């Protein structure tokens, strides 16, 4: 199995094309930002120091300050600048904004999206921050309980699910006709998140509304066996494949 246009996995050529940013931004806290850049420049086969300095300067991050004296958001930006200065073809981000405040998350994601637009780098982005996914991801991988629960492009997945609201005493009949991901009943009313397609008829008397990515992901996370549901015709042709990218 090859990666990056057939390069052998684990080879120096393949590794040179991949950069990684971890959740805890593993930087040497007692080194200055400038020393951090200098250290990486001596280790990386591909390195664009001018770009790293320019990116950090634009963000107002003092390169003479020790990394441990920076805020969490600034440390994340340093880690991202280091990764991008290697000009990777694939950037892997593992929960990079999990510990950041909303402003720092916004700044980090803005920097990331600018880099994607400028360089065309592919990004695999792992995150529990659902609000960020809908804004930046094209293709979704949802993992839960050790297995893939959902797969496909974000637009296709959202379009392939609907929220049906109607009489609770008819909910079982609706569930017989459409795969139900999540069901809520309150008195005489039921709300069902279902997988559906354009040619499947919604029962008379039921309200048919679109869903959004956050509601969709939360419903699959709460459903004990959602991955066993048959996929709709409009969903991804290969439900075993999922990616956040």
Q: Does residue 42 have a pLDDT over 70?
A: yes
Q: Which residues pair with 182 in a beta bridge?
A: 193
Query: Is the predicted pLDDT of residue 4 greater than 80, yes or no?
Result: no
C-alpha 125: how far from chain center: 4
Establish how many alpha carbons lie within 13 A of residue 236's alpha carbon, considering only the half-sphere containing its beta carbon: 19
CATH number of 154-228: 3.30.70
Q: What's the pLDDT score for residue 232?
A: 43
pLDDT, one tens digit per residue, over 78-131 is 999 999 999 999 999 998 888 888 888 888 888 888 888 888 888 998 888 777
- Delimit the CATH 3.30.70 region(s) of the chain: 154-228
**pLDDT band, very low/low/confident/very high, at 57 (cuts 50, 70, 90):** very high
Sign of the dihedral through C-alpha 38, 39, 41, 46: negative
Confidence of residue 14 (pLDDT cuts 50, 70, 90): confident
Residue with tokens 């809908």: 134
Q: Which of 15-19, 115-119, 234-238 has the lowest mean pLDDT?
A: 234-238
Where in the chain are all domains bearing CATH 3.40.50.300?
A: 12-136
- Which residue, 118, 105, 140, 103, is CA-closest to 23? 105
Asked whether the beta carbons of 147 and 219 are under 8 A apart, the reply is no
The mean pLDDT value for 185-214 works out to 83
Share of the chain above pLDDT 70, in %: 88
Answer with the residue of higher pLDDT: 131 or 232: 131
23-37 residue pLDDT tens: 887 899 999 999 999
CATH of 12-136, one of 3.40.50.12280, 3.40.50.300, 3.40.50.720, 3.10.20.600: 3.40.50.300
Spatial CA neighbour of 207 closest among 245, 243, 237, 162: 162
């Amino acid at each position: 199995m090859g990666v990056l246009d057939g390069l052998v996995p684990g080879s120096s050529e393949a590794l040179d094309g991949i950069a990684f940013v971890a959740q805890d931004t593993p930087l040497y806290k007692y080194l200055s930002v400038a020393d951090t850049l200098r250290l990486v420049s001596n280790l990386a086969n591909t390195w664009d120091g001018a770009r790293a300095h320019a990116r950090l300067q634009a963000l107002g991050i003092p390169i003479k300050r020790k990394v441990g004296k920076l805020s969490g958001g600034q440390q994340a930006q340093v880690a991202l600048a280091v990764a991008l200065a290697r000009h990777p073809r694939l950037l892997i981000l593992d929960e990079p904004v999990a510990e950041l405040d909303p402003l720092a998350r916004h700044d980090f994601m803005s920097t990331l999206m600018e880099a994607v637009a400028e360089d065309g780098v592919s990004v695999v982005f792992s995150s529990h921050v659902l609000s960020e996914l809908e804004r930046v991801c094209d293709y979704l991988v949802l993992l839960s309980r050790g297995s893939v629960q959902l797969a496909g492009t974000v637009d296709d997945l959202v379009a392939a699910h609907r929220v049906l609201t109607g009489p609770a005493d008819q909910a079982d009949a609706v569930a017989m006709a459409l795969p139900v991901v999540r069901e809520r009943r309150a008195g005489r009313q039921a709300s069902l998140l279902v997988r559906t397609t354009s040619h499947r008829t919604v029962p008379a008397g039921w309200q048919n509304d679109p869903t959004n990515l956050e509601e969709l992901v939360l419903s699959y996370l709460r459903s004990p066996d959602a991955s066993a549901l048959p996929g709709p015709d409009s969903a991804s042709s290969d439900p075993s494949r999922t990616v956040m990218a």
